[in-house]
């Protein structure tokens, strides 16, 4: 780190940037709602703060090279290790989702496609590789990684993808391989294997970070991580209330900090404030959907470029999407994190995300959600370029219909690539689904 | 040049094995410890698709964007194609095979026990130890399913038998250009490893290797990469177009030239053999390592171009492809990429592309080649 980089970072990230972002927040608070408030509740008051928090994170990334070590990380990775070593942590999946929401993902992914990356590959990966090749990004600038940290607990795709990044950046790739859990319990030798890899990663990360891992700091980060995840889970569970105070579409937008800022104190404060606002909504009888008649489940990733369309279309018919296996994934493991036995609990926590478990487990999770959230139906987004989440959905849908008697729709789309979103077909299928809900 | 030596078919092999009182393990791609299954009297019979099955039964469970290796395997099973199997082993190679294993266990529930096997993605000591433990866990499951408990000596004997067969297969690869085999015959023989008992396979190979060497096969030397050379008619077509396959990086063949192990502990030795096989994206091998491997093969064999022959929707292959192709091209090795669905016939379009590629390579002077 040289003095110039430190000053540049301090000025932009701690002084100038926050002032500009505060101003933007102030303006946002005064802007009229963009989504149709005839059917939907007014936007959450916290929304401009979410934007500010996320923008600050990306702003810090913009000036990180030369000041802080940078790690590019998969969304399910044990980030606590990196946080405790003061890495700036960048999540390419989140960046890709930002591109999706801003509807620039296809333009950026095309850069990867022109370089030979197939349209059959995960659209997050294509967006990210396209951003690396072209420098295009809606967040200003992506810092180069000093290390790539991939954990296979969401899919194998991330490893194939990070191997590509390793070539482009010449950066070391640290792998935490988490054997897929086909049955209810992970085998003990699999947990042992994950723990061993976590321990083996430490000296490598220490060498790159240029400092030793402080166990006390790691414990502190673990505590913050657990607390934020618990708050997130509480917020989601508030949607058991009728009418649900927030919808899954709100959750998709509010989940950015739990993914990319897990382990930071600001994240805990943020979710405590969100929980408070959600409780206020419950106390005053505000529902995310004004005339909530039916409640449904969402399975799989969001369709980032059509959040508003889906929210408004469904709300117009009195349908509130109130629970999701996807947003739940960042909360359900909170009880497993034990800051007093961090290494063992990290191994267990990171082997058990829903995406690292069998198709039967996902069905049981959905069935449980249908009961706990009193759901009337389910939308299963069959996501063309996310195979690990989508395989199994055809049986899951059939079983939801057969065993719980709820209508379930398989909706063909893609999380980031709007070229596979067949507008008319989706509208027809959604209309038919809404009719079946009654 | 002679054609195929007489290779017993899958059906004959299975029948003969069962008549001797043996049992069958249907095994999905890619890597698995054959020796472990054999020690339990199970003959591993691999299911790479198979090609050209009615895809409808599988389509009731899998979306159309899942590769045909997985789709066909499920359709085949649902059409009673795996009735002869006593157990089903599903190694983990990618998200799609993972999904298939999970579907079988949770929803399809065939009458046979289904055993998944996780193959780690690195080559560190922890990976080796894990895979050894995973083999031990599979041993326990097989013991429960078959009622047999092979001793350590029996396991080592089984490993030795497989190592011998693999050693001969490696020799077959080394001498492929001076053997009296067409490309099609070579791959029919090499792929018999997918179902023949190791000792029968070894005997077959010995007979071929004992034949006097012929003049090196003529033709434009090329390298074949991908998952599986289906339809196999592709190989004859390449010969007719004046090409000759001199080396391969196929998941069903060259990526499974397992070297002998060194450990005297059977499970660890099984793990060593799998992890020390040639680079493979599904085992997490870095792209640079794959590139070195391809370049090394091309140098040794004089290959002048690479045909990447992939199964549609195969992520492990598709991620590596752009960088591999670009760097091979920079090194003077042109390539072509072809994607197939296992249910499609060998189309005129594919043949035209291969032919155009071979012509292009033939017109490139060797100096323009490898740098
Ligand atoms: S979208 Fe699916 S395939 Fe892509 S990184 Fe996420 S889990 Fe993996
Ligand atoms: S063809 Fe590719 S995607 Fe399909 S099972 Fe084989 S490795 Fe997996």
User: What is the reported pLDDT for A28?
Assistant: 82
Q: Answer yes or no: are the C-beta atoms of A376 and A210 closer than 8 Å.
A: no
Q: Is B18 exposed, middle or buried (0-12, 13-18, 19+ CB in 10 A)?
A: middle
Dihedral sign of CA atoms A42, A44, A45, A51 in order: negative
How far is residue B110 from each of residues A251, B25, B52, B74, measured CA to CA in Å? 39, 13, 22, 11
pTM above 0.90, yes or no: yes
Q: Which of A161, A162, A387 to mutate to test the interface with B (most CBs of B within 10 A)?
A: A387
How far is the C-alpha of B293 from the C-alpha of A67, rounded, in Å? 38
Judge whether A121 is closer than 8 Å to chain B, CB to CB.
yes
Q: Report the percent of chain B where pLDDT is more than 90.
A: 93
Tokens 């074949």 — which residue?
Answer: B224
Q: Report the percent of chain A where pLDDT is more than 90.
A: 89
ipTM: 0.96
Which of B102, B126, B318 is opposite residue A197, by nearest beta carbon?
Answer: B126
The candidate with the shortest Cα–Cα distance to B60, out of B105, B107, B98, is B107
Tell how strand B87-91 and strand B23-27 pair up: parallel
Cβ pair B95:A387 closer than 8 A: yes
How far is the C-alpha of A258 from the C-alpha of A277, rounded, in Å? 17
Say how far residue A20 (Cα) sits from the centre of its chain.
26
pLDDT at B2 over 60: no
Q: Is B213 exposed, middle or buried (0-12, 13-18, 19+ CB in 10 A)?
A: exposed
Bridge partners, residue B243, by sequence: B220
How far is the C-alpha of B327 from the C-alpha of B310, rounded, in Å? 19
Judge whether A173 is closer than 8 Å to chain B, CB to CB.
yes
Q: Report the percent of chain A where pLDDT is more than 70.
A: 100
Cβ pair A363:B106 closer than 8 A: yes
- Total number of domains in chain A: 1
Terminal CA-to-CA distance of chain A, rounded, Å?
63
Cβ pair A175:B122 closer than 8 A: yes
**Mean pLDDT, residues A332-358 taken together:** 93
SS (H, E, C) chain A: CCHHHHHHHHHHHHHHHHHHHHHHHHHHHHCCCCCCCCCECCCCCCHHHHHHHHHHHHHHHHCCCCCCCEEEECCCCCCHHHHHCCCEEECHHHHHHHHHHCCCHHHHHHHHHHCCCCCCCCHHHHHHHHHHHHCCCCCCCCCCCCEEEEECCCCCHHHHHHHHHHHHHCCCEEEECCCCECCCCCCHHHHHHHHHHHHHHHHHHHHHHCCCCCHHHHHHHHHHHHHHHHHHHHHHHHHHCCCCCCCHHHHHHHCHHHHHCCCCHHHHHHHHHHHHHHHHHHHCCCCCECCCCEEEEEECCCCHHHHHHHHHHHHHCCEEEEEEHHHHCCCCCHHHCCHHHHHHHHHHHHHCCHHHECHHHHHHHHHHHHHHCCCCEEEEEEECCCHHHHCCHHHHHHHHHHHHCCCEEEEEECCCCHHHCCHHHHHHHHHHHHHHHC
Q: Which residues of B touch A152 (CB under 8 A)?
A: 121
User: What is the reported pLDDT for A110?
Assistant: 98
Own/partner long-range contacts of B8-14 (Cβ < 8 Å, ≥24 apart): B8/B192, B8/B196, B8/B200, B10/B45, B10/B195, B13/B43, B13/B45, B13/B195, B13/B196, B13/B197, B13/B200, B14/B43, B14/B45, B14/B84, B14/B195
Q: Which residues of B touch A196 (CB under 8 A)?
A: 126, 129
How far is the C-alpha of B284 from the C-alpha of B280, rounded, in Å? 7
User: What is the reported pLDDT for B63?
Assistant: 98
User: What is the reported pLDDT for A18?
Assistant: 87
**Mean pLDDT, residues B321-346 taken together:** 96
Kindly list the strands in the beta sheet with B305-311, ordered across the sheet, starting from the edge strand earlier in the chain.
B243-250, B220-226, B305-311, B335-340
User: CB within 8 A of A358, min separation 6: which ones?
Assistant: A180, A181, A182, A183, B102, B105, B106
Q: Using one digit for the tens of pLDDT, what is the confidence trace for A159-210?
A: 999 999 999 999 999 999 999 999 999 999 999 999 999 999 999 999 999 9
Tokens 């299911």 — which residue?
Answer: B47
User: What is the reported pLDDT for A27?
Assistant: 84
Judge whether B315 is closer than 8 Å to chain A, CB to CB.
yes
The candidate with the shortest Cα–Cα distance to A354, out of A178, A177, A175, is A178
pLDDT at A84 over 60: yes
User: What is the reported pLDDT for B79?
Assistant: 92
Q: Which of B70, B117, B121, B135 to mutate to test the interface with A (most CBs of A within 10 A)?
A: B121
Q: Using one digit for the tens of pLDDT, what is the confidence trace for B293-321?
A: 999 999 999 999 999 999 999 999 999 99
User: What is the reported pLDDT for A15?
Assistant: 84
Give the position, in ligand 2's atom list, of the atom nearest the Cα of B97: 5
Neighbours of A68 (CB within 10 A): 22
The candidate with the shortest Cα–Cα distance to B63, out of A396, A368, A304, is A396
Q: Using one digit for the tens of pLDDT, what is the confidence trace for B234-293?
A: 999 999 999 999 999 999 999 999 999 999 999 999 999 999 999 999 999 999 999 999
Longest dimension (CA), chain A: 66
pLDDT at B1 over 70: no
Per-residue tokens: A4 = 């110039």
Judge whether A384 is closer than 8 Å to chain B, CB to CB.
yes
User: What is the reported pLDDT for B69?
Assistant: 97
**Mean pLDDT, residues A86-104 taken together:** 97
Cβ pair A120:B122 closer than 8 A: no
**Mean pLDDT, residues A29-49 taken together:** 91
Per-residue tokens: B133 = 């433990």
Q: Answer yes or no: are the C-beta atoms of B255 and B249 closer than 8 Å.
A: yes
| Shortest Cα distance, chain A CAs vs residue B118, angstroms | 6
Q: Is A218 exposed, middle or buried (0-12, 13-18, 19+ CB in 10 A)?
A: buried
Terminal CA-to-CA distance of chain B, rounded, Å?
33
User: What is the reported pLDDT for A236?
Assistant: 98
Give the range of the structural domain holding residue A346, as residue numbers without chain letter. 3-437
User: CB within 8 A of A292, min separation 6: which ones?
Assistant: A242, A243, A244, A318, A320
Peptide bond into B191 cis (omega under 30): no
Q: Answer yes or no: are the C-beta atoms of A72 and A108 closer than 8 Å.
A: no
Say how far residue A209 (Cα) sits from the centre of its chain.
26
Per-residue tokens: B68 = 């045909």
Whether the CB of A354 sits within 6 Å of ligand 1: no
Q: Which of B117, B136, B291, B319 to mutate to test the interface with A (most CBs of A within 10 A)?
A: B319
In three-state secondary structure terms, B329 is helix
Whether the CB of A124 sits within 6 Å of ligand 1: yes
Q: Answer yes or no: are the C-beta atoms of A296 and A437 closer than 8 Å.
A: yes
Judge whether A422 is closer than 8 Å to chain B, CB to CB.
no
Q: How confident is the model at residue A13 (pLDDT cuts 50, 70, 90)?
A: confident
Q: Which residues of A touch B287 (CB under 8 A)?
A: 163-164, 166-167
**Phi, psi values for residue A118, rounded to 5°:** -65, 150
The candidate with the shortest Cα–Cα distance to B224, out of B97, B354, B96, is B354
Q: Answer yes or no: are the C-beta atoms of B125 and B151 closer than 8 Å.
A: no
Structural domains in chain B plus CATH codes: 10-138 (3.40.50.11890)
Whether the CB of A154 sits within 6 Å of ligand 1: yes
Q: Answer yes or no: are the C-beta atoms of A228 and A256 closer than 8 Å.
A: no
Judge whether B281 is closer than 8 Å to chain A, CB to CB.
yes
């Amino acid at each position: 780190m040289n003095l110039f980089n430190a000053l540049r970072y301090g000025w932009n990230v701690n002084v100038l940037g926050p002032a500009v972002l505060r101003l933007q927040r102030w303006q946002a608070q005064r802007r009229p709602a963009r989504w149709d408030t005839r059917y939907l509740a007014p936007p959450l008051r916290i929304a401009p703060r979410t934007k500010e928090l996320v923008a600050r994170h990306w702003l810090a990334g913009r000036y990180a090279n030369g000041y802080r070590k940078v790690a590019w990380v998969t969304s399910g990775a044990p980030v606590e290790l990196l946080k405790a070593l003061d890495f700036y942590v960048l999540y390419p999946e989140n960046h890709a989702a930002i591109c999706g929401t801003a509807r620039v993902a296809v333009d950026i992914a095309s850069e990867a496609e022109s370089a030979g990356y197939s349209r059959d590959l995960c659209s997050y990966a294509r967006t990210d590789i396209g951003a690396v090749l072209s420098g295009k990004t809606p967040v200003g600038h992506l810092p180069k990684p000093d290390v790539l940290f991939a954990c296979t607990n969401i899919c194998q795709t991330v490893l194939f993808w990070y191997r590509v990044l390793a070539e482009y950046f010449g950066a070391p790739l640290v792998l935490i391989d988490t054997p897929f859990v086909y049955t209810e319990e992970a085998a003990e030798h699999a947990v042992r294997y994950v723990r061993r890899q976590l321990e083996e990663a430490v000296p490598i990360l220490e060498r790159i970070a240029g400092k030793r891992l402080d166990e006390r700091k790691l414990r502190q980060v673990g505590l913050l991580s657990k607390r934020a995840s618990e708050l997130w889970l509480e917020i989601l569970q508030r949607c058991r209330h009728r009418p649900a105070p927030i919808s899954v579409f709100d959750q998709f937008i509010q989940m950015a900090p739990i993914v990319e800022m897990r382990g930071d104190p600001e994240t805990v404060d943020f979710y405590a404030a969100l929980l408070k606002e959600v409780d206020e909504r419950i106390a005053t009888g505000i529902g995310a959907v004004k005339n909530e008649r039916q409640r449904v489940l969402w399975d799989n990733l969001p369709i980032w470029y059509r959040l508003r369309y889906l929210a408004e279309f469904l709300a117009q018919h009195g349908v509130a999407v109130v629970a999701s296996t996807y947003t739940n994934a960042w909360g359900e493991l909170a009880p497993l994190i034990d800051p007093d036995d961090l290494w063992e609990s990290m191994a267990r926590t990171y082997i058990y995300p829903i995406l690292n478990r069998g198709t039967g487990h996902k069905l049981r999770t959905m069935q449980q959600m249908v009961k706990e959230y009193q759901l009337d139906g389910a939308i299963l987004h069959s996501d063309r370029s996310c195979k690990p989440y989508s395989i199994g959905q055809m049986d899951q849908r059939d079983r939801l219909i057969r065993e719980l008697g709820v209508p379930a729709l398989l909706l063909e789309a893609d999380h980031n690539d709007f070229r596979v979103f067949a507008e008319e077909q989706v509208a027809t299928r959604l209309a038919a689904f809404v009719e079946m809900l009654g | 040049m002679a054609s195929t030596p007489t290779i017993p078919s899958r059906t004959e092999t299975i029948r003969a094995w069962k008549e001797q009182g043996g049992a069958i393990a249907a095994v999905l791609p890619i890597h698995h410890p054959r020796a472990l299954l054999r020690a339990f009297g199970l003959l591993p019979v691999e299911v790479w698709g198979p090609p050209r099955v009615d895809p409808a039964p599988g389509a009731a469970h899998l979306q159309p964007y899942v590769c045909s290796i997985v789709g066909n395997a499920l359709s085949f099973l649902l059409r009673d194609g795996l009735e002869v199997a006593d157990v089903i082993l599903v190694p983990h190679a990618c998200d799609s095979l993972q999904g298939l294993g999970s579907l079988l266990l949770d929803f399809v529930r065939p009458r046979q026990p289904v055993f998944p096997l996780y193959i780690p993605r690195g080559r560190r000591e922890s990976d080796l130890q894990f895979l050894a433990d995973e083999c031990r866990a599979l041993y326990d499951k097989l013991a429960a399913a078959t009622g047999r408990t092979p001793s350590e000596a029996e396991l080592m004997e089984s490993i030795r038998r497989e190592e011998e067969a693999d050693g001969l297969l490696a020799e077959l690869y080394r001498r492929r250009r001076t053997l009296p085999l067409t490309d099609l015959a070579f791959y029919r023989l090499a792929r018999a490893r997918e179902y023949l008992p190791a000792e029968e396979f070894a005997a077959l190979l010995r007979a071929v290797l004992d034949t006097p060497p012929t003049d090196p096969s003529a033709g434009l030397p090329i390298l074949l990469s991908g998952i599986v050379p289906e339809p196999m008619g592709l190989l004859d077509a390449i010969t007719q177009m004046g090409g000759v396959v001199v080396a391969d990086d196929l998941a069903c063949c060259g990526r499974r030239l397992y070297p002998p192990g060194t450990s005297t502990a059977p499970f660890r030795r099984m793990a060593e053999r799998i992890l020390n096989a040639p680079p493979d994206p599904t085992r997490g091998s870095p792209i640079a390592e794959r590139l070195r491997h391809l370049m090394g093969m091309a140098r040794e064999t004089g290959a002048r171009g690479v045909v990447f022959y992939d199964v549609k929707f195969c992520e492990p292959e598709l991620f590596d492809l752009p960088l591999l192709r670009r760097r091979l091209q920079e090194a003077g090795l042109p390539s072509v990429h072809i994607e197939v669905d296992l249910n499609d016939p060998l189309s005129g379009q594919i043949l035209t592309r291969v032919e155009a590629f071979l012509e292009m390579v033939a017109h490139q002077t060797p100096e323009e080649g490898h740098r």
